[in-house]
Structures are given as C-alpha cells and as structure tokens.
Amino acid sequence: MIELLNVVKRYGEKLAVDGLNLVVREGEICCLIGPSGCGKSTTLKMINRMVEPDSGKVIFNGEDVRKIKPELLRRRIGYVIQHIGLFPHMNVFQNISVVPKLLGWSKERIEKRVGELLELIGLDEAQYANKYPSELSGGEAQRVGVARALAADPPALLMDEPFGAVDPLMRSVLQDEFLSIQRKLKKTVVFVTHDLDEAIRIGDRIAVMKDGKLVQYDTPEAILASPANSFVRDFVGSDRALKRLSRFDVNSVMKKPFYVFCDDGIEEVRKRVKDKKLRYLWVVEKDLRLIGWIDMKNIDSAGSMEEVITNSGIKNICIREYASLREALSRMLSEGVKVVPIVNSNGSLVGEVSLSDIEAITEEVG
C-alpha cells in the first residue's frame, strides 16, 4: 500500500531522512518511533507531499505520489495531528463533512456518513453534531479529528502523535477505541509516536529510527524479543517482558466469572456456592451490570445480601474487555487485588482475569 524507496530529505546541512526504505502493508498499522529529531514526522509528511523528498520515491497504492496532485492525494489519505486542527468556526458536523463536500457528495450521503462516524467514535449525533470545538473535551475533540480523517473513507491514515496532547488515562481510552475502529475498518495506518508503550500496544509493525535512518523494522514481539543492536535494546528498556503484556487483550485470557444477582436471597446464594472453593463473588443486576462483590469469609454469618455486598471502589477495579494485560496488571497492583472483573461498554460483566492468568502469559512469552 505504502512504500518508501531510498528516500532522502535534507534541511540545509542536516540530513533529516537518510536513504529510508520502508514498506507498509495494506491493512496494517506501522508505528514510526525514535528520539526527537530522528526523522519520523518528516517521513510521515513526505507520504502525502506536505514535505517533498530530495531524492528517492514514495509509492502510494502502486503510484508515485509525485504524479498525483497534492490536494488530490490528501483527499485519499486521512490525516490526524496531535493538536487535532479542528476548524473553530465550524461545528462537529461541518468539521467531519469538509472532505466529502470537497468531493461533491450529496447532502443525504454526507448526513448519513457523519451519523455513521459519530456512532463509530462513540459520540451521540443528537448531542454532538452541533457543538463547536471549544465545547468539546480534549478526548472528544480527538475523536472528532479521527472521524474527520475517516470521512471520505480513505484507504490510508497518517497519524502524527494523535493522542500526545491528552492525559495518560484518556490516551489509554483513545488507544483502545482506535484499535476497536481499526478492527472494523482495517485501514493502512502510519502512526508517529514518541511513546514506546503506545507503539507496542497498537502497532502491527514498528519502525525504530535514529538520525534519519531505519534501525529496525519488525513486529513489536520481535523487537522486544530480539533488539537489532544496543541502541534498540536501550531504547526499549530492560522491562521488555512487561512491555510485551501490552500486546495481549484481556479478552484473550479472561475466564468465565462466577456471579450472583443482587436481588437473590442470602440462603439461595449460600446453596449456590456450597462446596465451591470461591474467595469472592461478583454481584450483578439482571442485565449483568456489575455493581459490587462479596467477600466469601463473610457470607456464612450474614443475615441478608445487603450486609455482605461491597459497592465502593468497584469502578476502580473494572477493566474494559479490550484493555491490555499490562493495564490489568497495573490495576491489580494499584488496587491491591489479585483478580479484576472485565466489563463491556455497558458495564456488564463479561469475564475476569487473575494474576495467575497473567503469570501464565509471561511464562509463555518470556
């Protein structure tokens, strides 16, 4: 889909990109990463001709980009930047519909597409379509930026540190949501980041750059397991086994949870758990929405369910179903628990992951 052939870019005496050869396969996410000034953002901008290379070729979908007018090329490649770049005088609907309007889409087609994209990024159309950028949170604005890049359904996306301007918690949420979108759309993505954990979490392949050169290009697993040289080894750090947990979603190892309903009687619960070696029980509503847990050491002496259900702190230990095992481990350590519940977007219980499950994975990949 995207190929760079011996690409060189100079700024005066500085060699920003030095003989870069890189192939990004269709439907994959390629993360460009390296120290500041290594040439990753310059590389990204040469793909859509925001920056012109001094020599070499950039091929997009089998065609030399120099033979495509820049404005036409950019309509075929979505672009998302760190500070989003939403037009402040346009509302959300107008921002998302910019490129479709330039392409001459009908009003009906644009309205349908904006509605589809707002649903895709998890923003209610009735609530958000008429809001202006100044009325959005950082995370909401970033989602709209992604929707705008996807508006004309381009085959490829360029993303320049798209989540770098939001707080760590929101960044993790946006990463998960982006991966959820990518599972559905399978776009070809070139993603610049300075955050190694982010690259490991979302990249199908990672290009490690230094001084304008490509040092190693491989899957996150291969780079963590076999760094090409001392630079890559130092760059990825000594906690490589821990970083590899970012490559696994909790739903890949989660187990079926044992739960009771909040309106069950205490005697009924005692009968259900009799002879079961349980340390705790999850408590749910009829729709399986998780509301608390029961410590089993208290159940024999309890006179009612209300006496033994613990509700406080339940939101702090919940993990979304597409979160990484590294996030699950972090939550266990911060909350002092050995098991965390897994919930879907509606807050319904879908599974659980234990410390022993994570230990088993680390032994497999270690």
Residue 246, domain member (yes or no): no
Both 289 and 220 in a single domain?
A: no
Domain harbouring 193, CATH code: 3.40.50.300
State the virtual CA torsion across 147, 148, 149, 150 in degrees, nearest 10.
Answer: 50
State the virtual CA torsion across 128, 133, 135, 139 in degrees, nearest 10.
Answer: 80
Residue 131, domain member (yes or no): yes
Residue 257, domain member (yes or no): yes
Both 89 and 228 in a single domain?
A: yes
23-36 pLDDT, tens digit per residue, is: 999 999 999 999 99
The number of folded domains in the chain is 2
Domain harbouring 295, CATH code: 3.10.580.10
pLDDT average per 10 residues of sequence, the chain (366 residues): 96 93 96 94 95 96 94 91 82 94 93 93 93 90 90 93 80 84 92 92 95 96 91 86 83 90 86 78 92 85 83 86 88 91 91 90 64
Both 182 and 38 in a single domain?
A: yes
Both 275 and 150 in a single domain?
A: no
Instruction: Provide the pLDDT for residue 323.
Output: 86
Residue 136's domain comprises 2-240
**How many CB atoms are closer than 10 A to CB 23?**
14
Instruction: Provide the pLDDT for residue 339.
Output: 92
| CA distance linking residue 271 with residue 257, whole number of Å | 18
Both 85 and 138 in a single domain?
A: yes
Residue percentage of the chain with pLDDT more than 90: 56
3-state secondary structure the chain: CEEEEEEEEEECCEEEEEEEEEEECCCCEEEEECCCCCCHHHHHHHHCCCCCCCEEEEEECCEEHHHCCHHHHHHHEEEEECCCCCCCCCCHHHHHCHHHHHCCCCHHHHHHHHHHHHHHCCCCHHHHCCCCHHHCCHHHHHHHHHHHHHCCCCCEEEEECCCCCCCHHHHHHHHHHHHHHHHHHCCEEEEECCCHHHHHHHCCEEEEEECCEEEEEECHHHHHHCCCCHHHHHHHCCCHHHHHHHHCEHHHCCECCCEEECCCCHHHHHHHHCCCCCCEEEEECCCCEEEEEEEHHHCCCCCCHHHHEECCCHHHHCEECCCEHHHHHHHHHHHCCCEEEEECCCCEEEEEEEHHHHHHHHHHHC
Both 30 and 144 in a single domain?
A: yes
Both 279 and 194 in a single domain?
A: no
Both 174 and 198 in a single domain?
A: yes
Residue 355, domain member (yes or no): yes
Both 109 and 201 in a single domain?
A: yes
Both 235 and 344 in a single domain?
A: no
Both 222 and 281 in a single domain?
A: no
- Give the end of a domain, one of 240, 269, 293: 240
- Give the end of a domain, one of 240, 265, 288: 240
Both 228 and 266 in a single domain?
A: no
């890189």: which residue's tokens? 22
Instruction: Provide the pLDDT for residue 217.
Output: 97
Contact 86, 141 (CB under 8 A): yes
206-249 pLDDT, tens digit per residue, is: 999 999 999 999 999 899 989 999 999 999 887 777 788 888 88
Instruction: Provide the pLDDT for residue 4.
Output: 97
Instruction: Provide the pLDDT for residue 320.
Output: 87
